Amino acid sequence: MYSFRNDYSEGAHPRILNALMETNLVQDEGYGEDRYCGEAIKLLKERLGRNDVDIHFISGGTQTNMIAISAFLRPHEAAIAANTGHINVHETGAIEATGHKVIAVEVNDGKLKPENLKAILKTHSDEHMVKPKLVYISNSTEIGTIYHKQELEQLSAFCKENKLILFMDGARLGSALCSEENDLILADLPSLVDAFYIGGTKNGALLGEALVICQDALKEDFRYHLKQKGALLAKGRLLGIQFLELFRDDLYFELAGNANRTAHILSEGISRAGFKFLIHSPSNQIFPIFPNTLINALETKYFFSIWEKVDSEHSVIRLVTSWATKEDRVYEFLEDMRKAM
């Protein structure tokens, strides 16, 4: 059995494991105040071209979303998200558990636009309802689409004009930035969003996300929030070492490029076989529509997710490639698909 279910089935890139081994017996400070976290933060600031941002390493995406959003919002304030947004669907109500409502907006491409936000602000007009304050977006989105620069600029301008916090979930940011259709670079983000994170868990790290806080008003006492929510790790060095290795050169982008490249091979092969897709996805998640009979045949050899039912005879599946996906595994899937047809 081979898995196309997610992009975190493998452990970590060998360079990261080697770096962890080589530094294993070196003594250092705890709670992210070690030399490795310090060097990684300095390196990331250089990559971002901004020395005025705060960077914190957190173990996973859900933890990052929950801690950041709950820290940024006052008790009566709420987050706006696409209906497909991770905080709305796949985080077990983590945001709501902190006392903040998630206002979901129905969209067909996983992306929020200014007109979506206008409708929410018009509806939530007084103190008898929660106050929309934070706009949550994902890049790439949960259905594989990406934000282009103009879209993000428009969203950013609207948020600034309406005093909304713009927060980007970057669990799959590497895939978004390395997409052939992308026109953003990492250094664009600090001027466009108030906070975002660079995902490591789904791009070659054993675990870890790097939260970047760009707006000064959001920075104060953030380490207190980390500690209170159980995210200030005594062995925080383990996160710093990994990001240091990922960004020492272009490894982070090389790994994301592999995920996108293998997904593109899958997508092209499936398209040539005559199948359609739920949505155009230029990242490492693709959503082909297959006959249920074909899905049943492929399930004998591959793990993947059934995304949604189309009709009595067809369903959408999600195929996800990773930093470690080998091309021969992709071609093998396509050959097995053709045989099963």
Confidence category of residue 18, pLDDT binned at 50, 70, 90: very high
Query: Residue 228 maps to which CATH number?
Result: 3.40.640.10
pLDDT one-digit tens code per residue, 263-282? 999 999 999 999 999 999 99
Asked if 90 and 208 sit in the same domain, the reply is yes
Q: Total domain count for the chain?
A: 2
Same-domain status, 73 and 181: yes
Strand pairing partners for 209?
58, 199
Q: What does the pLDDT average to over 21-36?
A: 97
pLDDT at 1: 95
Confidence of residue 5 (pLDDT cuts 50, 70, 90): very high
pLDDT at residue 124, rounded to an integer: 96
Question: Tens digit of pLDDT for each residue in 162-191?
Answer: 999 999 999 999 999 999 999 999 999 999
For 75-107, how does the pLDDT look when each residue is reduced to its tens digit (9 = 90+)? 999 999 999 999 999 999 999 999 999 999 999
Which of 230, 247, 264 delimits the end of a domain? 247
Rounded to whole angstroms, the Cα distance separating 45 from 225 reads: 22
Supply φ then ψ for residue 213, to 5 degrees: -100, 120
Are β-strands 165-169 and 195-199 bridged in parallel, bridged antiparallel, or unpaired?
parallel
Percent of the chain clearing pLDDT 70 (strictly above): 100
Give me the domain span that covers residue 25.
14-247
| 219, 262: one domain | no
Pair (55, 163) in one structural domain: yes
Task: Report pLDDT for 32.
Answer: 97
Confidence class for position 110, pLDDT limits 50, 70, 90:
very high
Q: What is the value of pTM for the model shown?
A: 0.97
> Where a domain ends, among 226, 247, 268?
247
Q: What is the pLDDT of residues 210-266, one digit of tens each?
A: 999 999 999 999 999 999 999 999 999 999 999 999 999 999 999 999 999 999 999
Specify the residue for token string 């705890």. 30
Same domain, 318 and 192: no
Could you tell me if 331 and 220 lie in one domain? no
Phi-psi sector, 319: left (phi>0), alpha (psi -120 to 50), beta: beta
Q: What is the CATH number of the domain that holds 293?
A: 3.90.1150.10
Please report which confidence band the pLDDT of residue 23 belongs to, taking 50, 70 and 90 as the band edges. very high
Position of tokens 């207190």? 224
292 & 308 share domain: yes
Which of 195, 219, 247 is a domain's end point? Answer: 247
Q: Quick one: 48 and 184 in the same domain?
A: yes
Are residues 43 and 150 both part of a single domain? yes
Query: Does residue 127 share a domain with residue 74?
Result: yes
Same domain for 224 and 133?
yes
How many residues can be counted in the chain?
341
Calculate mean pLDDT across residues 303-324: 97
Give the pLDDT score at 104: 98
Statement to judge: residues 286 and 336 lie in one domain: yes
